[in-house]
Amino acid sequence: MAVGNFTPDDLQWRFQGRSGWIKPGEIVKDRDRAWENHVLDKMGPRGLVKLDYGDDNEKAKALSMQLYEEFWLKQIRVFNEMNEQQKNEGRQYSPPSKQLREKADLFDIELVGPWKLRSKAASGGEERATPDAQRVKGLESRVDGIETQLGEIYALLKENLTGAEDKDKGTPGGKGSNAKK
């Protein structure tokens, strides 16, 4: 029996304190049967396949790529579902790993999350704001409105205070009155 990696990824294995890599296109033969079973169990879903004497390598390559694609599509789907759930619960998004972003690009699948920043050139000259940037713009406009209201309130208070002082000056017993004490 042998194991073959017909995927484009290097696959790292660990077994009984030892570790190593199986490179793309590599077929590993004549290893310990326990090692082969263990590595197939752990790496089979990622595209590692078992090869017996006389097996057709083309069928094994097709199976390997099918497993590889199913594995990454499932990883992307689970990531997106988790981030959708976090969004619905009002919790913070989880950022994708570099490898997950690469695989999402490879399979042309969009990842769920607020990190999608687009340049002006990519969006046809228009700058697309992220949800956080839109929220900040909304908060800035609210702050501007509050500042305007505070300025009006301050002006009214100042006007009322100066008007009250003027009234005090002309009344008997007031600050500026000519009344005898």
Cα distances from 149 to residues 85, 117, 146, 152, 178, in angstroms, run 40, 35, 5, 5, 40
Q: In DSSP terms, which residues pair with 3 in a beta bridge?
A: 28, 50
Is residue 108 located within the same domain as residue 125?
no
Listed residues 66, 83, 116: the one ending a domain: 116
Please give the pLDDT value at position 70: 92
Is residue 52 located within the same domain as residue 132?
no
Please give the pLDDT value at position 30: 67
Please give the pLDDT value at position 16: 86
Is residue 54 located within the same domain as residue 110?
yes
Please give the pLDDT value at position 71: 92
Does pTM top 0.85 for this prediction? no
Is residue 78 located within the same domain as residue 25?
yes
Long-range contacts of 113-117 (CB under 8 A, 24+ apart): 113/83
Is residue 148 located within the same domain as residue 103?
no
Range of the domain at 131: 118-181
Please give the pLDDT value at position 119: 43
Is residue 16 located within the same domain as residue 69?
yes
Is residue 99 located within the same domain as residue 142?
no
Q: 75: closest CA among 92, 99, 58, 108?
A: 99
Mean pLDDT, 10 residues at a time, the chain of 181 residues: 85 84 83 83 85 80 90 91 87 86 86 58 49 70 86 88 70 55 48
Is residue 9 located within the same domain as residue 59?
yes
Is residue 39 located within the same domain as residue 109?
yes
Summary count for the chain: helices (H), strands (E): 4, 5
- Among left, alpha and beta (phi > 0; psi -120 to 50; other), residue 169 is alpha
What's 45's DSSP letter?
Answer: G
Number of domains composing the chain: 2
DSSP 54-90: T--HHHHHHHHHHHHHHHHHHHHHHHHHHHHHHHHTT
Listed residues 81, 98, 116: the one ending a domain: 116
Strand ranges inside the chain, DSSP E: 2-5, 11-15, 18-22, 27-29, 48-51
Listed residues 93, 116, 139: the one ending a domain: 116
Q: In DSSP terms, which residues pair with 77 in a beta bridge?
A: none
- Among left, alpha and beta (phi > 0; psi -120 to 50; other), residue 45 is alpha
Please give the pLDDT value at position 67: 92
**Residue type at 95?**
P
Is residue 39 located within the same domain as residue 53?
yes
